[in-house]
Amino acid sequence: MTMSSSPAPPDDTDALHPRERTLPVDTAIPLPRRTRVGIVGAGPAGLLLARLLNGNGIDCVVLESRDRAYAEHRQRAGILEQSTVDALRASGAGERLDREGIAHDGVELRFDGRSHRVDFPSLTGGSRVWVYAQTEVVKDLIALQLADGAPLLFEAEALSVEGVDTARPVIHYRHDGRVRTLECDYVVGCDGFHGVTRRSVPQGVLTSYERTYPYAWLGILADAPPVYDELIYAHSSRGFALASMRSPEVSRLYLQVPGGEDPAAWPDERIWDELDVRLASAGSRKLERGPITARSVLPMRSQVTEPMSHGRVFLAGDAAHIVPPTGAKGLNLAAADVVVLARAFEHLEREGSSELLDAYSDTCLRRVWRAEHFSYFMTTTLHAHPDGSPFDNRLQLSQLHRIADSRHAAAEFAENYTGAFSG
């Protein structure tokens, strides 16, 4: 690798983000300077897109602001729909998933002293979901990408995307303390809700639809066997609780807490006691307790950006939409977006037609809004609203009894949960 002290070409320096004008610019280090598709963000959306594009011989570069260890260990989602599993397999990342993923054919709803299991295959014509943590999805995709020698740069923070209305959008990013430039034919923002790509689109082009919720989740990871062999979603007057898992030895558990709660307000014993109360139902087992190895508070919000593209810039995953986690949809939507996008790029390469790229936003938004609605429904049906009245509580219970008592309502729930709907 050669270092050069020669001044950067004027077009590089001129385009610098204002915050970065004082940083040295080095254009001689042989990092990629041009690519077909510049991908911002190495979460599930960016990584899966890169694998699918590379699999079709389409050149791309992934820029990730965090280091590899951080990206691989961020605790997040745990439930994969069948279509996500299929996409991961198609990308080459199915091997460990098929070995270690746990197929689930149902979930249990607990409410009003009652336990009701919703059986997915019988209600949907065969659909099921898989427990396989986002951390593992990300590790698998990163390992494949690096093994292929495909460009994936960690600690490469995109600062801005410029020329979004031109045929040559440019990503300015910081790597090794220097500002660099990546010229692209297309840019895909997979950089999450707080990323820069969406903000680089000119004002007035995008519309944001959003809702926030007056509660949050306290999520923990514990070295304790799961209390039950499927997930439990529990409605209680003290607030929602969810019992999930990562393996036969590791539980993932969530409690509804007030928005902005400090995790320090929840010592271990308080968490376990509260989980016991909220997850209790007639004849249910008590949780086995174990060391808590991670805890964090997650805000709850719904948000959709429309359209999900502008010119040669596309938004995918959390960069385009957020769901509250109750429906387990965030990661699955991210995967669905990039499957559509990868197909559209392949169509462009093979047929020379941008028709699928042009339709990207409309194609994705059908599924996005269905998932938004289901996530909103799950959230507002299962959580105790701080200003909720006894009337509101009765409406929630009525809805849950309806799922338990009507095959039709249960099928609607199961189709949404497993993603077995068209759109």
Residues that bind ligand DHB (CB under 6 A): 77-79, 231, 242, 244, 252, 325-326, 328
Q: Which of 44, 104, 186, 228 is catalytic?
A: 104
Q: Please say if 7 is a catalytic residue.
A: no
Tokens of 281: 């139902």
User: Exposed (0-12), middle (13-18) or buried (19+): which is 222, by Cβ within 10 Å?
Assistant: buried
Residue 365 makes contact with ligand FAD by CB under 6 A: no
Q: What is the DSSP string of 184-200?
A: EEEEEE-S-TT-SHHHH
**In the window 123-142, what residues touch ligand FAD (CB under 6 A)?**
134
Q: How far is the CB of 71 from ligand FAD (least distance, A)?
A: 5
Residue 82 makes contact with ligand FAD by CB under 6 A: no
**In the window 283-312, what residues touch ligand FAD (CB under 6 A)?**
298
Peptide bond into 121 cis (omega under 30): no
Residue 239 contact among ligand FAD, ligand DHB, none, beta carbon within 5 to 8 Å by kind? none
Q: How far is the CB of 245 from ligand FAD (least distance, A)?
A: 12
Q: How far is the CB of 128 from ligand DHB (least distance, A)?
A: 14
Q: Residues 6 or more apart from 45 whose CB is under 8 A from it?
A: 190, 316, 317, 318, 319, 334, 335, 337, 338
Q: How are the residues of the chain apportioned to helix, strand and coil, as percentages rounded to the nearest 5?
A: 40, 30, 35
Q: How far is the CB of 28 from ligand DHB (least distance, A)?
A: 45
Q: Please say if 417 is a catalytic residue.
A: yes
Other beta carbons within 10 angstroms of residue 170's beta carbon come to 20
Residue 226 makes contact with ligand FAD by CB under 6 A: no
Q: Which of 116, 139, 235, 329 is catalytic?
A: 329
Residue where the block lists tokens 């929840």: 266
Q: What is the DSSP string of 244-278?
A: EEEETTEEEEEEEEETT--GGG--HHHHHHHHHHH
Residue 109 contact among ligand DHB, ligand FAD, none, beta carbon within 5 to 8 Å by kind? none
Cβ atoms 220, 271 nearer than 8 A: yes
Give the CA count within 13 Å in the CB-facing half-sphere of 328.
27
Residue 169 makes contact with ligand FAD by CB under 6 A: no
196-207 core/surface letters (b: 16 or more CB in 10 A; e: else): bbbebbeeeebe
Q: Which of 233, 321, 324, 383 is catalytic?
A: 233
Q: How far is the CB of 330 from ligand FAD (least distance, A)?
A: 2
Residue 191 contact among ligand DHB, ligand FAD, none, beta carbon within 5 to 8 Å by kind? ligand FAD
Q: Which of 44, 254, 325, 383 is catalytic?
A: 325
Q: Is 25 helix (H, G, I), strand (E, B) or coil?
A: coil
Residue 46 makes contact with ligand FAD by CB under 6 A: yes
* Binding stretches for ligand FAD (CB under 6 A): 40-46, 63-66, 71, 76-77, 134, 157-158, 190-192, 195-196, 298, 317-318, 325, 328-331, 334
